[in-house]
Amino acid sequence: MTDPRGHALVTGASSGIGEAIAREYARRGVPLVLTARRTDRLEALAAGLRVRVPVHVLPADLADPDAPARLVDAIAALGVPVRILVNNAGYGVPGRYLRSDWNTHAAFLQVMVGAVCELTWRLLPSIRDSGAGRILNVASFAALVPSADGQTLYAPVKAFMVKFSESLALENADAGVHATALCPGFTWSEFHDVTGTRAMMSKLPRWLWLEAADVARAGIDGVERGEVVVVPGAVYRALRVATRLMPERFLLRRMAKNSARIRSTE
């Protein structure tokens, strides 16, 4: 049965965790609005999902500061209410801070922070009005541990998404809104191909890797239960507990030792 209360907007839906979240919502009967830069990938995904639910495709490049407003206007023109917002769009900028020019960092911050905040602000009235609103912010396990060499902006923006979710959950509980930060560890996707770190990441043991479909289910189940922070996978939940018990100085030394092995830091 198609959920009559409103659509789910999934950003970065063309691959990886975003695509998996779109598929899982479709399986649960939630109609969708999908956005990402790659129109062909979105259309192919939508074609397969339309056998289950209505799906609208609205391509957008969230690195453009005007894109969030245009996207929300396009949704309004369709006449479909949004009750679920999935802020998933994102990527990594490999290497240390000075390796990239400022325009590269500015575009990254626009996608990872500016667009997240603006889309949430613009859609929050509709989400609150639904009576069963949900905001799922795809963060990272990197937000919960000391940052690594070569994660100068990535880990901080993911930590922001955790704190943002916490505040949204408190502020909007009166309207039945659940806000959740999904914090997966290493997940099979195109992420490391795009950043050019696939060869290094492939050196990690297989037991550290999560499947995108499992991450999607964990996030959606968690936001439905009203969990504010969701860490998928027993390994990562254990690591989270362990890192809370370890001295900060020890963790920073471990990060310094491991960063060069798995990341492009120059």
154 counts as catalytic:
yes
Tell me which of 25, 97, 154, 236 is the catalytic residue.
154
Residue 178 Cα to chain centre, angstroms: 16
Of the candidates 2, 61, 74, the residue with the CA atom closest to the CA atom of residue 32: 2
**Joined tokens for residue 254:** 């471990």
Of the candidates 204, 265, 261, 262, the residue with the CA atom closest to the CA atom of residue 236: 204
Which residues are marked as active site?
154
